[in-house]
Structure formats: C-alpha cells, structure tokens
C-alpha cells in the first residue's frame, strides 16, 4: 500500500482549491449573465458553503500531512497570492 502524498500538480502550486475556484467563477458568470432572484440568493450561500468546506478539508489535511501541509498553505486558497 502506498503512502498518501499531497498533490503536486502544477495548478496546486498556486491555488489550494482550484476546483472550488472554477465552480464559483462559473456560477458567478451565470449570476452576471442570468441574474435571477434564485441565483442572487443562492450564490452568496454557495460561497459561504464552499469556503467552510475548504476550511474543514484543510484541517483534515493538516492532521494527515502536518508541517508539510502547513507550509503548503502559503499558496492562495482560491486565487494565487501575488506578493
């Protein structure tokens, strides 16, 4: 059985949760293009839900990978850090 490792795929060098970023950007595009009341209500709720999910996952990853993951958290959560 192989030991678990943190992902080292290129996009993950810059963003910790690219799949959530893409989902939120797509749904934001829908919000801009088809601004309906349900989308206006749901989009901020989705942002909060995915943020909380990402934080929960990060706590689990810190338990599993320790300082390696703590060092990795210097990358941006949803968008690359510029500075």
66 in a structural domain: yes
Taking the complete model, does pTM exceed 0.85, yes or no? no
Q: Residue 16 in contact with residue 73, Cβ under 8 Å?
A: yes
SS3 category, 34: coil
Question: What is the pLDDT, as a whole number, of residue 3?
Answer: 55
79 in a structural domain: no
What are the structure tokens assigned to 25, written together?
């950007």
19 in a structural domain: yes
Is residue 45 over pLDDT 50? yes
Separation in Å, CA 20 to CA 3, 6, 46, 52, 67: 26, 17, 10, 11, 24
User: Smallest Cα–Cα separation from 65: which of 6, 2, 3?
Assistant: 6
What are the structure tokens assigned to 80, written together?
């690359």
Question: What is the pLDDT, as a whole number, of residue 1?
Answer: 45
Identify the domain containing residue 51 by its residue range. Answer: 10-72
> Domain tally for the chain?
1
28 in a structural domain: yes
């Amino acid at each position: 059985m192989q030991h678990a490792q943190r992902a080292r795929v290129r996009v993950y060098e810059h963003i910790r949760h690219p799949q959530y970023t893409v989902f939120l950007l797509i749904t934001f595009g829908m919000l801009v293009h088809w601004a309906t009341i349900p989308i206006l209500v749901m989009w901020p709720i989705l942002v909060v839900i995915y943020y909380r999910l990402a934080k929960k996952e990060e706590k689990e990853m810190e338990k599993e990978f320790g300082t390696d993951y703590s060092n990795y958290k210097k990358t941006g959560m949803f968008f690359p850090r510029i500075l």
